[in-house]
Amino acid sequence: MTRYTVREYLDAPLDQLRRAADLEDLARRFTGQPLADTVEDLRQTLADGIDMEQFRRLHILISHLYHACGADIPLTESLRFEVGKALTPDRAYNLHTRREEANVLLEP
């Protein structure tokens, strides 16, 4: 069986109408893989920094690692902290900015 990677998870296209369900389906691909390998892969991926979309996806993955893959609370807390630190300011945005961008797209 081929190992599913965190990079593949982050790069997978999502159906905008099934976004949450798609992410849950993708996270299930990590079930059965060695937790230590997935955590190591996640940490290597964080080394390059992440954007807000990746930040959101990784929090869903971390929840899956806790609920289905045997990650304990201290590990999940540590991973959430590491994900937060990897969010690079130049690639992050706030909701106010996104709202303004959306309004511009709606103007005639």
Q: What is the tens place of the pLDDT at every residue in 26-55? A: 999 999 999 999 999 999 999 989 999 999
Around Cβ 30, how many Cβ atoms within 10 Å? Answer: 23
Residue 1 belongs to a domain: no
Q: Are 9 and 46 in contact (CB under 8 A)?
A: no
Residue 20 belongs to a domain: yes
Q: What is the structure's pLDDT at 102?
A: 46
DSSP state of 87: B
Residue 63 belongs to a domain: yes
Mean pLDDT by 10 residues, the chain (108 residues): 92 94 96 97 95 94 97 97 88 52 46
Q: What is the structure's pLDDT at 93?
A: 59
Q: Range of 89's domain?
A: 6-106
CA angle 3, 20, 100 (to 5 degrees): 120
Q: What is the structure's pLDDT at 8?
A: 97
Count of positions (residues) in the chain: 108
DSSP state of 41: H
Expressed in percent and rounded to 5, the helix, strand and coil fractions of the chain are 65, 0, 30
Residue 100 belongs to a domain: yes
Tally of domains in the chain = 1
Q: What is the structure's pLDDT at 108?
A: 46
Residue 83 belongs to a domain: yes
Q: Are 38 and 4 in contact (CB under 8 A)?
A: no
Distance CA 100, CA 107 (A): 11
Q: What is the structure's pLDDT at 94?
A: 53
